[in-house]
Structure 1
Amino acid sequence: MPYQPRVAILVPAPDYYEKWQPAFARKAAALTGAGLVVEQRVWTDPGDLSGYDLILPLFAWGYQRDVAVWYGLLDRLEAEDLPVVNPVAVLRWNSDKAYLAQLAAKNVAVVPTVEATALDEASLAEARATLGADEVVIKPAVSGGADGTHRIASGAPVPTDAIGQRRLVQPLMQGILTTGEFSLFYFAGRFSHAIVKRPASGDFRVQEQFGGREEPWTASVAAQALAEAALAAAPAPPVYARVDMVGDAAGTLHIMELELIEPSLFLHHAPDKGAAFGSAIYAAI
């Protein structure tokens, strides 16, 4: 029997609150279909990882809540020279949304963003003036799952949990309320599929836990070009990637974020149900 490479998928601790197992099953099926043996290791305490052909942080969900542990894991993976996809340099770069400023510096259209090192009423007012927007969204620079993300209406104060904290301030992009947020998926640099995610009525968050829903979307040439320009700015080519973007009031698309660590890949919406994903991971070994 030919050798089957072993891959470790980093997963949340048993008491993690989000339901990750259905998405894990889809990804694992794609990987086993490509000829890989898949095992789980808890990302916060994975133990010895030296015996694996590849380590995938595909379900390191909640890393934004244990930032020191997360960066410690990245340091360890790098120090032990373990085979990781995406590469550690990409994971570290993608962990902090300061990368949006780097994309903007390379003329990639991103959602306009002002960083406040210690958010207060004065810095919020200054950010609103800089952005030319009364209604804004704030989020932590290291964030996921809409943790710590707030929509702040004109004249509303800084939310209590954000006072004195490092926050990114962005205008509320009207496209999120009208057409939704678009996600494009790439495996080994090749476009696979796309979806549109829409928030529940009265909300602006598109995540499933807040009532968001998704459906397949036919990505335009402009959307694919924007996604590929953003991915080209990463420290190394990502093997798997999700690119989230949203339109402004005129419909012009802007990068919301790059998901290169532990993205939901919505493989059930891929025409090949994840075969390209499996092949990309296998080829990275």
Structure 2
Amino acid sequence: MEFDRFKQSSDRLDLLALDKRGNLVVVELKRDGLASYADLQALRYAAMVSTMTVEKLLPYFVHYQQKYLGQVDMTTTRAQELIQEFVTNNDTFEQLSNRPRIILCSENFSTELTTTVLWLNQAELDISCVRIVPYKVGDSVVVVPTKIIPLQEVNQYMIELKHKEEGREQQAVQSGRTETFTLLMDHGHLSVGDSIYLRDRLPVYLGSEAKDASNDALFRAEILPRQGKSYTVRWDYDGKVYSLMNLTQTIFQQFHPAGVRPAGMQAGKHWGLADGRNLVELADEVWADLQSGEAT
């Protein structure tokens, strides 16, 4: 329902909804081709409704049912029953969440806005972008919604984020920590012939494909003897030899919707052992133990 009942404010929220988990949902519609400032406006609305209780919501819901749906006999009691029936696990539902979800709808979104949305999601705020495109079908207009999983719009942000993560390994080496493969091999946590598995911190488009990496040669590699300064691996899928970085980029490119090859990454963070331990995390633990004198 459209909501314009903010106290001491003339603001009008485009749509206020309720989801099946008992969360209020702030929906902001923008005609602006790039949805300028929609994020800030929606955040303000979400903050304003975050303290709303079921009791405060009921009069507005009753008014909506009576005015727009013709339910002239709608009562507060019946409205509360409808809400209770709608929310999943209604036996335990008592009150609205104080963390409203946010949905931004527009024909397009700027890079600045999608970058902000991605950052807010990382801060555990549930906010998403939905691209809405109208089509003329006969005498009707059909609006097709597409939830944006940030790819092209936030590509630069993701690249910068990857570079930041890559820097962790570089900083570790610069601060004295031995390179991951070398450290784990030298201290007996890895051996030539061991298998490693691509399954950790994977991009959205790859996650479901590698859910059972242990049974799929696409996501498994064998550690080979050291060549020069670095260890290499043999990809079980094609039997060829790669550096861990090159192999990870190759697999990511193969599954990327647009065939994009990642510019760079901290490859070890995506690979783990058969027992589930991540290579980089294990190397960090081994190094910490060495510094404290607990490892040999």
The structure whose Rg is larger is: 2
TM-score range normalised by the length of the shorter chain: under 0.3
Higher relative contact order (CA 8 A, sep 6+): 1
| TM-score calculated relative to the size of structure 2 | 0.26
- Structure with the largest fraction of helix: 2
